[in-house]
Amino acid sequence: MQKTFSIIKPDAVASGKAGKILSLLEDNGFRIVALRMTKLSTSQAEGFYAVHAERPFYRSLVTFMTEGPVVLMALEREDAVKKLREVMGATNPANAAEGTVRKLYAESIERNAIHGSDAPETAAQELAYFFTTVELNQL
Ligand code: ATP
Ligand code: MG
């Protein structure tokens, strides 16, 4: 079993798709280990996406990620990191496969409904960024 980290982004929460996305994740074998709705502060979003700080879209991405509530999730299944990336679909919804979260619910390459960790190492870092050890291990 492996854990990964995911965020239902502000566009998908605002358009009322959070429940459908959680359901799709469960249907794909993910167990919800920890779950929290919150609104990210600017510094939380900047820190989370620090790897993209030099990209031209960074300020816009931080503004988007702080515009409204998000759902933070710790998810568990076999091969969770890779499987979540598959269920999410390509970053740009125009390139996302049929049936993926981004094909179904993303508005654009920026407003793309869901985040998922891209490797086991980043999953561990991102889980620890938002959840306590107790939250990740109690249930
Ligand atoms: P995420 O890290 O959110 O799971 P990803 O790994 O598919 O997405 P990254 O390349 O890490 O994609 O980009 C992080 C986020 O930055 C994207 O999900 C999207 O919201 C935004 N983004 C990426 N590329 C662009 C772009 N060219 N223009 C605008 N926003 C972008
Ligand atoms: Mg990424």
CATH number, domain at 89?
Answer: 3.30.70.141
Residue 32 Cα to ligand 1 middle (Å): 23
Low-confidence spans in the chain with pLDDT less than 50: none
Residue 23 and residue 73 in contact, taking contact as beta carbons nearer than 8 Å = no
Q: Within 6 Å (CB) of ligand 1, which residues are found? A: 52, 57, 61, 91, 109-110, 112, 115-116, 118
Residue 30 and residue 76 in contact, taking contact as beta carbons nearer than 8 Å = yes
Q: From residue 107, give the alpha-carbon distance in Å to each of 12, 33, 66, 96.
A: 9, 28, 17, 12
Domain that holds residue 53: 2-136
The model carries a pTM of 0.97
Q: Whose CA is nearest to atom 31 of ligand 1?
A: 110
What are residue 3's DSSP bridge partners?
76
What are phi and psi for residue 128, nearest 5 degrees? Answer: -70, -25
Number of domains observed in the structure of the chain: 1
Residue 138 is predicted with a pLDDT of: 80
Residue 113 is predicted with a pLDDT of: 98
Could you give the count of Cα atoms lying within 13 Å of 92 in the half-sphere of its Cβ?
2
Both structure tokens of 62: 């931080």
- Phi/psi region, residue 16 (left: phi>0; alpha: psi -120 to 50; beta: rest), is left
C-beta atoms surrounding 121 within 10 Å: 10
